[in-house]
């Protein structure tokens, strides 16, 4: 039987939402959910990320959970607030793009992973202010022109779209660069990373392993861009049933003869590979047209016409769409000195700053009522508003963005 550490009893009397400092200088919070106490805070073993331990009060035992997602780097302190199925972590003194995190403890993704792995699972997800545009999943048989259409989109809108760089076990083609077109990977390495939960989806396609890592999607979201995934139908199906909300587009060839011509003219595959890809194409087209995976089907006969249709369904017809909201917002840094409380779906952050004349306190409201997404990816839909100041009396609502 394990023993609850001495700090739990005393420090729970303090403000667990806002954390407490231990004798060794590290800061931890404790969030109690049923019989489980989630102890979240800088590790004593010198690692740089925020660590998670769970104490099961009914068993009197420590549980070491499997931790999915990129762990946040530890900070000078943090606050923790429980929200139904996840714990909101606000890092003190962190930069605007690193201050809001979620530790998911009972979301659909966490429950799925627990079932699959048979262990206790928690998952980190970074919070994003505003609603970034949904990622775009583009599927279709090999040679139909997915890559060509995506290149045209990225060339015309370089600051709007970012490509999700997949992993593959196939060999690079002549001009392909590692880390740009694909992460070219050994099969054993990729299999281990799949087992470790690093992939949003993966599939065996035309005899090789392909997959989208969670990081590949997050890198694009972090750059404030809309993510484009070029993946096969099996991968699209996996993403559809994941928590990643996306727009799903299937690209169809005008005919099998034309598809074969394009594949042969591209000249990147051996005869054997071309035949394999053509055999698979018939089943992919059948699934693409008949399944409920895809929101849109595009016929790529005339390239320019098809590209115009693609732009139109992405809201780019005629005028340039606005920059994704997440890129423009979130330029507000939470100060080191703040405390946190929760009223319904609103988190009230009391920022305390000592001015020369008098101490002023600013109240910020973080609205978590419209959260979207989550692990394995970012949590979107957060909104900050300034709601008042103790020193000057309450001021009117004011958006910080």
Single residue of 113, 142, 185, 212 touching ligand ATP by CB under 6 A: 142
- Binding partner of residue 338 among ligand LQESDW3C, ligand ATP, none, CB under 5 to 8 Å per kind? none
Nearest-CA neighbor of 24 among 46, 39, 55, 2? Answer: 46
Residue selected from 65, 211, 374, 377 as contacting ligand LQESDW3C according to rule CB under 6 A: 211
Q: Which of 72, 140, 374, 388 binds ligand ATP (CB under 6 A)?
A: 140
Between residue 37 and residue 96, which ones bind ligand LQESDW3C under the rule CB under 6 A?
Answer: none
User: In Å, how far from its chain's centre is CA 55?
Assistant: 28
The distance of Cα 396 from the centroid of its chain, to the nearest Å, equals 34
Residue 217 vs 382, nearer CB to ligand LQESDW3C:
217
47-61 burial: b if 16+ Cβ within 10 Å, else e: eeebbbbbbbeeeee
Instruction: Point out which span in 141-149, 336-344, 350-358, 375-383 binds ligand ATP (CB under 6 A).
Output: 141-149
Q: Is 264 in the active site?
A: no
Q: What are phi and psi of 394, to 5 degrees?
A: -65, 130
Contact pattern for ligand LQESDW3C over residues 217 through 256, marking x by CB under 6 A: -------------xxx-xx---------------------
From 29, 169, 287, 300, residue interacting with ligand ATP (rule: CB under 6 A): 300
Map residues 302-341 to x or -, x wherever contact with ligand ATP holds by CB under 6 A: -x--------------------------------------
Question: Using the rule CB under 6 A, is 135 a contact of ligand ATP?
Answer: no
DSSP 31-86: EEETTEEEEEEE-TTS-SBEEEEEEETTTTEEE--EEESPPPBP-S-EEEEEETTE
User: Could you say which of 86, 226, 237, 277 is catalytic?
Assistant: 277
| 146 in contact with ligand ATP (CB under 6 A) | yes
CB-CB contact of 345 with 354 (8 Å): no
Cα separation of 150 and 160, whole Å? 12
Q: Do the bridges between strand 359-367 and strand 338-343 make them parallel or antiparallel, or are there none, so unpaired?
A: unpaired
Residue 289: CA count within 13 A, CB half-sphere: 9
Contact criterion met (CB below 8 Å) for 83 and 100: no
What distance in Å separates the CA atoms of residue 68 and residue 12, rounded to the nearest whole number?
27
What residue has token string 């005028």? 319
Is 86 a catalytic site residue? no
| Per-residue binding letters, 113-152, with ligand LQESDW3C (x by CB under 6 A) | -----------------------------x---x------
* Token digits of residue 54: 């769970």
CA 196 – CA 10 distance, rounded (Å): 37
Query: Can you tell me whether residue 331 is helix, strand or coil?
Result: coil
Q: Is 170 in the site for ligand LQESDW3C (CB under 6 A)?
A: yes
The site string for ligand ATP over 241-280 (x = CB under 6 A, - otherwise) reads ---------------------x--xx--------------
Cα dist. 389→35, 394, 395 in Å?
Answer: 38, 5, 6
Q: Which is nearer to ligand LQESDW3C, 65 or 235 (CB)?
A: 235
170 is catalytic: no
Residues that bind ligand LQESDW3C (CB under 6 A): 142, 146, 166, 170, 201, 203, 205-206, 210-212, 230-232, 234-235
Which residues participate in catalysis according to the annotation?
173, 266, 277
């Amino acid at each position: 039987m394990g023993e609850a550490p001495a700090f739990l009893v005393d420090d729970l009397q303090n403000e667990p939402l806002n954390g407490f400092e231990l004798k060794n200088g590290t800061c931890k919070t404790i969030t109690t959910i049923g019989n489980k106490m989630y102890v979240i805070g800088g590790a004593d073993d010198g690692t740089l990320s925020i660590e998670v331990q769970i104490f099961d009060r009914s068993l009197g035992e420590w549980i070491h959970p499997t931790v999915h997602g990129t762990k946040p780097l530890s900070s000078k302190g943090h606050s923790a607030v429980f929200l139904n199925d996840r714990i909101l972590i606000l890092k003190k003194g962190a930069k605007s793009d690193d201050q809001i995190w979620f530790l998911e403890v009972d979301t659909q993704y966490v429950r799925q992973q627990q079932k699959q792995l048979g262990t206790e699972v928690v998952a980190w997800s970074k919070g994003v202010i505003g609603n970034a545009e949904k990622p775009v999943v583009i599927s279709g048989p090999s040679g139909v022109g997915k890559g060509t259409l995506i290149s045209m989109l990225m060339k015309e809108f370089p600051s709007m779209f970012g490509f999700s760089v997949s992993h593959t076990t196939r060999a690079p083609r002549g001009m392909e660069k590692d880390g740009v077109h694909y992460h070219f990977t050994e099969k054993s390495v990729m299999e281990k990373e799949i087992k470790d939960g690093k992939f949003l989806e993966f599939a065996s396609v035309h005899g090789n392993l392909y997959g989208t890592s969670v990081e590949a999607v997050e890198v694009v979201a972090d750059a404030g861009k809309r993510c484009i995934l070029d993946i096969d139908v099996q991968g699209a199906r996996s993403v559809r049933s994941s928590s990643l909300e996306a727009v799903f587009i299937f690209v169809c060839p005008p005919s099998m003869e034309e598809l074969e011509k394009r594949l042969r003219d591209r000249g990147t595959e051996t005869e054997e590979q071309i035949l394999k890809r053509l055999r698979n194409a018939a089943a992919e087209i059948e699934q693409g047209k008949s399944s409920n995976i895809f929101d849109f089907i595009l016929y790529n006969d005339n390239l320019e016409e098809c590209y115009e249709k693609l732009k139109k369904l992405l809201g780019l017809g005629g005028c340039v769409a606005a920059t994704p909201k997440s890129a423009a917002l979130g330029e507000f840094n939470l100060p080191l000195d703040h405390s946190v409380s929760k009223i319904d779906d609103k988190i009230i952050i009391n920022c305390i700053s000592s001015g020369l004349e008098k101490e002023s306190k600013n109240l910020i409201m973080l609205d978590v009522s419209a959260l979207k997404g989550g692990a394995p990816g970012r949590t979107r839909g957060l909104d900050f508003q300034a709601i008042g100041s103790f020193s000057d009396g309450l001021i009117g609502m004011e958006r910080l963005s």
